[in-house]
Amino acid sequence: MNKIITTSALILLIIIVLPALGRAAQNIPKIQVVWRSGIIVSVLVASNTTSDQLKSLINEFRKARITSSLTKYIPATTPGIKGNPYSQVIIFVFSDPKWATENEYKKYERASMRSQAGKIIAKTYLNHIRASYEWNMLDGKEYGSLGYDEGGTRSTSYKKLF
């Protein structure tokens, strides 16, 4: 009798869990790495990527970092650190190729938050970041979000995931 119950439970588990796992994997959008500079990586997703797919992607980055498999998604961000090529990483997810460029990032980086023009440049750039993931092994901090928060200046779509 115990064998029948155990077998039935396993079959039920397979019927319920395996399709759900397949759906979760399908929910992760394909990405294209556009550029990397130091610890920052810019990736591009399709323009029709949903918020739920972005959440799945950010959670997948987290899982990949924990399992030391980020390499299947992005190049090493700290290649000089033996044994941990991802000791620090910031991933920006865009759906508009115009904003996913290193040139646009540099404009944002140079923008002064003290001037009105600089604030507009920064806010415009941040509003094109669809999602972000950050990990810093030095302080153990990890962040995932829809949109992005740059120390109080946030994307209009900002929502903290973790």
pLDDT tens across 25-74, in order?
569 999 999 999 999 999 999 999 999 999 999 999 999 999 999 999 99
- Residues paired with 133 in a beta bridge: 91, 144
> d(Cα 148, Cα 150) in Å, to the nearest integer?
6
Helix (H) or strand (E) holding 144: strand 141-146
Distances (CA, A) of 159 to 39, 68, 89, 143: 22, 26, 19, 11
- Give the per-residue pLDDT at 151: 85
According to DSSP, residue 70 is labeled G
Mark out the alpha helices in 27-149 (DSSP H runs): 51-66, 102-110, 116-126
CB-side exposure of 15: number of CA atoms within 13 Å? 6
The tens digit of pLDDT for each residue in 120-159 reads 999 999 999 999 999 999 999 999 999 999 987 899 999 9
Task: Please give the model's pTM, rounded to 2 decimal places.
Answer: 0.83
- Give the per-residue pLDDT at 162: 96
